[in-house]
Amino acid sequence: MVARVLAVIMAVQLVAAGLFWYLFSRWMPLDVALVLAIVIVLLVRMIITANNFRLAARMGSAPPDEHKLDLFGRLRLFLDEYSSTMLTTSWNMLRHRERMHIASNPRGTPVLLIHGYGANGGFWAHLSGMLEHERISHTTVNLEPMTASIDDYAAQVERAVQALRKATGAHKVAIVGHSMGGLVARAWLRRHGASDVARVITLGTPHHGTGLASIGVGSNARQMQLSCEWLQQLEAFDREQRGLFTSIYSYHDNIIAPQTSCHLPGAKNIPFGGIGHVALGRHPAILQRVVAEILSIP
Amino acid sequence: MTSPIPDPLAAGLASGWKVVDASALDKDLTLDADVVIVGSGAGGGVTAEILSLAGLRVVIVEEGALRSSRDFKMREADAYPQLYQESAARKSKDKAINILQGRTVGGSTTVNWTSSFRTPPDTLSWWQNRYGLKDYNVAALAPWFQMMEERLHIVDWPTPPNANNGLLGEGAQKLGISFGHIRRNVNGCWNLGYCGMGCPTNAKQSMLVTTIPSALSHGATLLTRARAERFALQNGRAERLDCSALTADGIETNGRRITLKARHFVVAGGAINSPALLMRSGAPDPHGLLGKRTFLHPVVVSAATYPQPVEAYSGAPQTVYSDHFLHTGPVDGPIGYKLEVAPMHPLISATTMAGFGAAHAALLHKYPHVQGMLALLRDGFHDGAQGGAVELRSDGSPVVDYPLTDYVWDGARRALLTMAEIQFAAGANGVSPVHELAQTYTSWNEARQAISALPMQKLITRVVSAHVMGGCMMSADDRNGVTDPKGRYHGVTNLSVHDGSLFPTSIGANPQLSIYGIVARLASGLAEDLTGRPAPRPVAA
């Protein structure tokens, strides 16, 4: 479904570029018109990303002094996030096929990767390649439908967890959830218990909601509104299990605001600076940290 | 109902074997391994056990399903679609030859008739002289045959032959034709006679109950209902193997892809599917030999009726043979043939026997009194029997184009004559050569005249085959074969072939033990090459 929505968005962009090309070609050579048309579409996408940063900054929490960015740092943050977004939505998620990878001589605990809101398993293209290289068995899940209640994804997660356990022969799996995916993992834990999971690692997960959820649609978006009742119940429920959790996040997240919403009391919290929300799935420092966390599971 | 017969497969699955049924996949699957083996039959099974014992991580890819004694109900109508390639109706390109090949975990070893012969010495000396396979001599192979005979409990069959086999021996004896008794890979056989439908008692020491369970217990992964589509070959190496997951009925693909990566790949899909996989992959073939020289041991059949019941459907299917007509001339003289009998189960008998309507019904009316004798023709040693060629259909599936030459037909006629003579000598009151224009003859004199005059042509002379060999033939000289004497594929450094497709001629005997022994040696060599340690010796549990 997500791939289809993204395909429609891609088609709209191509049609828009085509129209601009047609219009501009009246006044300039064809090749120049084409370049200009593409630049305009890319600029629109850039403005959307920039607007996310603007909103997140307005509602955000101030980063601690040691993570304050200079102009160059902010530029790099922005370009990194923009390129990650373009790559993820226009390529990785579009061409994603769900898969399970079983390493023959595996290291560590097998991993289930749960994507976030409005995404699919293609979000994990970079981490998946790294896990394969590190001989870590893993699989992804595609959460459907796009706008369901977060609780409703628990059944899908349970199926994926059991399939992974069966295929690898492992007793326990690790879960890595990006953004909403971390909340999906917690909702699954609430329903199915912790007996099959060794560690839950969340990346940029709004454990206490995000101000930007109000522009999303669906039950799941409502459940991510700042300190809503659903989040408070979840918070009360798994307070005793926080030893299972690692929360990795960025002080410069452009979707989760305030960024400290990712801080999960009682969990191992690992904040970074200078990384955007989608870039969390691609930034080498984050990926290396995730792999280290998985390999440190006893 | 629980069966009193223990099912080692069920027990193994419960103990946590890694078995993935690809038809149940809900997403793509990627696996990496030390060695990926395509096929779980005689070649794949032996290789999987030896490499797993050597500590290598093995993935076995099998197109068929995992079925075991729980599923084997001695019913032809279930067994043929479930356990055989193309529902036991695989045909040569011109439909003149019906080819029986297994398609299940254990491959043809799960459904064969247990006949076990070492590779005949005259076949081996031909290989040494013509193809430079110097290590393929009786003495060098003897320890490997002995090892696999011990592993698979291949011993003399102590029980008297059933009447179907006994009549071959009686007739031969009366005519002064030499014959012998067949060794079998069974342990605790109930003498039921339904080997071709999968052994319901797990007595048959097929790959299904021996090497495959052993490999799985040593950490191998078995992927079932997964079809090997093609290798990705780059810079003289196989980088990965792309497979398709099949639907539960094994007919269509279900849309899921399986990608396998390994240090080394072993192709053991049998002599039709192995060359076909390599052809689809565009494997190097500078001399145009891949898929060529495919041998079938073309078989002709003679049915006879006796006054007494024969009950050819009951009892161990093959226990008596005669190699007399393999030795009456040189191997490259007029084509020789091996005599055996065929178990007569109703479905396969009715569809194999000639005629239709009243004549066909009349023969089946005497069904319990019918004896079925067969002659398998030794192809590959003469210009008139250079074998067939594997071709790919437009969808990539393989088909064998096998020319039946005058040289082969000459042998077919002599074999039909011999079988009729033996059958009359054993007391038959009627002999019906399986030929559309043949009648039931009531005396040897009548049969001799009629068979001598029968036109030997495809589609009217019934020809069947259960032994497919060649197509990836070995040779010391890479101009004469696509594989070397170690089974390594020329031009692809990490690719081996370990099945009957290696043979540069037919064997001249039921080939299972030839594959077991030769592949045991190849797999042990491969294990040593990959681990740097001496290969372990598999022993029976």
pLDDT digits (tens, 9 = 90+) for B131-177: 999 999 999 999 999 999 999 999 999 999 999 999 999 999 999 99
Considering the domain architecture, whether residues B238 and B375 belong to the same structural domain is answered as: no
Is residue B11 one of the residues assigned to a domain?
A: no
Q: What is the pLDDT of residue B2?
A: 65
CA dist A209 → A145, B21, B219 (Å): 21, 41, 45
pLDDT-derived band of residue A114, with 50, 70 and 90 as boundaries? very high
Considering the domain architecture, whether residues B145 and B269 belong to the same structural domain is answered as: yes
Q: Which of B540, B488, B536 is nearest to B51 (CA)?
A: B536
CA of B25, closest CA in chain A: separation in Å? 9
CB contact under 8 A, A101 and B16: no
Q: Is A210 an 8 Å CB contact of chain B? A: no
Asked if residue A145 has a cis previous peptide bond (ω within 30° of 0), the answer is yes
Among partner residues A97, A105, A163, which is closest to B57 by beta-carbon distance?
A105
Tokens of B7: 């099912």
Considering the domain architecture, whether residues B41 and B117 belong to the same structural domain is answered as: yes
Considering the domain architecture, whether residues B372 and B429 belong to the same structural domain is answered as: yes
Reported ipTM: the value is 0.85
Mean pLDDT, residues A133-138: 96
Domain span holding position B168: 163-188+298-465
Q: Which of A263, A149, A160, A159 is nearest to A205 (CA)?
A: A263
3-state secondary structure B50-107: HHHHCCCCEEEECCCCCCCCCCCCCCHHHHHHHHEHHHHCEECCCCCEEECCECCCCH
Domain boundary among B441, B465, B489: B465
Count Cβ atoms within 10 A of the Cβ of residue B324 and give its class: 0-12 exposed, 13-18 middle, 19 or more buried. buried
- To which residue do tokens 């093995």 refer? B58
Considering the domain architecture, whether residues B476 and B459 belong to the same structural domain is answered as: no
Distance CA A107, CA B504 (A): 44
Counting the structural domains of chain B, the total is 2
CA of A67, closest CA in chain B: separation in Å? 40
Q: Is B26 an 8 Å CB contact of chain A? A: yes
Is residue B9 one of the residues assigned to a domain?
A: no
Tokens of B342: 């065929």
DSSP classification of residue A260: G
Q: Is A3 an 8 Å CB contact of chain B? A: no
Which is higher by pLDDT, A168 or B30?
A: B30
Q: What is the pLDDT of residue B359?
A: 84
Domains of chain A by start residue, with CATH: 100-295 (3.40.50.1820)
Considering the domain architecture, whether residues B443 and B415 belong to the same structural domain is answered as: yes
CB contact under 8 A, B18 and A169: yes
CB contact under 8 A, A102 and B57: no
Q: Which of A119, A188, A124 is nearest to A147 (CA)?
A: A119
| A40, pLDDT greater than 80 | yes
Is residue B503 one of the residues assigned to a domain?
A: yes
pLDDT single digits (tens) B466-524:
999 999 999 999 999 999 999 999 999 999 999 999 999 999 999 999 999 999 999 99
Under a CB-based contact definition with an 8 Å cutoff, are residues B331 and B126 in contact? Answer: yes
Considering the domain architecture, whether residues B478 and B368 belong to the same structural domain is answered as: no
Is residue B413 one of the residues assigned to a domain?
A: yes
Q: Is B215 an 8 Å CB contact of chain A? A: no
Number of H helices, E strands in chain B: 13, 24
What are the backbone angles phi and psi of residue B59, rounded to the nearest 5°?
-120, 130
Residues of B in contact with A140 (CB under 8 A): 27
Q: What is the pLDDT of residue B286?
A: 96
CA of A9, closest CA in chain B: separation in Å? 25
3-state secondary structure A73-142: HHHHHHHHHHHHHHHHHHHHCCCCCCEEEECCCCCCCCEEEECCCCCCHHHHHHHHHHHHHCCCCEEEEC
State the 10-residue block means of pLDDT for chain B, 541 residues long. Answer: 81 90 94 97 98 97 96 96 95 97 98 98 97 97 98 96 98 98 97 97 97 96 97 97 96 95 97 98 97 98 97 97 95 97 94 87 92 98 97 97 98 98 98 95 98 97 97 95 97 98 98 98 98 94 75
User: Is the pTM value of this prediction over 0.80?
Assistant: yes
CB pairs under 8 A between A and B: 46
Considering the domain architecture, whether residues B379 and B447 belong to the same structural domain is answered as: yes
Considering the domain architecture, whether residues B393 and B259 belong to the same structural domain is answered as: no
Is residue B537 one of the residues assigned to a domain?
A: no
Is residue B209 one of the residues assigned to a domain?
A: yes
Considering the domain architecture, whether residues B338 and B261 belong to the same structural domain is answered as: no
Under a CB-based contact definition with an 8 Å cutoff, are residues A251 and A52 in contact? Answer: no
CA of B31, closest CA in chain A: separation in Å? 5
Under a CB-based contact definition with an 8 Å cutoff, are residues B88 and B65 in contact? Answer: no
CATH number of residue B432's parent domain: 3.30.410
Q: Is A167 an 8 Å CB contact of chain B? A: yes
Distance CA B199, CA B70 (A): 10
**Chain B residue with the nearest C-alpha to that of A168:** B18
Considering the domain architecture, whether residues B277 and B333 belong to the same structural domain is answered as: no
Domain boundary among B465, B492, B509: B465
Domain boundary among B465, B496, B522: B465
Considering the domain architecture, whether residues B342 and B452 belong to the same structural domain is answered as: yes
Is residue B101 one of the residues assigned to a domain?
A: no
Contacts 24+ apart (CB under 8 A), A68-72: A69/A252, A69/A273, A69/A274
| Angle in degrees, CA B417, B422, B425, rounded to 5 | 125
Write the single-letter amino acid at A3. A
CA of A120, closest CA in chain B: separation in Å? 13
Write the single-letter amino acid at B379. D
Under a CB-based contact definition with an 8 Å cutoff, are residues B333 and B383 in contact? Answer: no
pLDDT-derived band of residue A2, with 50, 70 and 90 as boundaries? confident
Residues of A in contact with B31 (CB under 8 A): 101-104
| A1, pLDDT greater than 80 | no
Pairing type for strands B370-377 and B337-341 reads antiparallel
- To which residue do tokens 């791939």 refer? A3
CATH number of residue B131's parent domain: 3.50.50.60
**Chain B residue with the nearest C-alpha to that of A99:** B28
Mean pLDDT, residues A97-122: 94
Is residue B490 one of the residues assigned to a domain?
A: yes
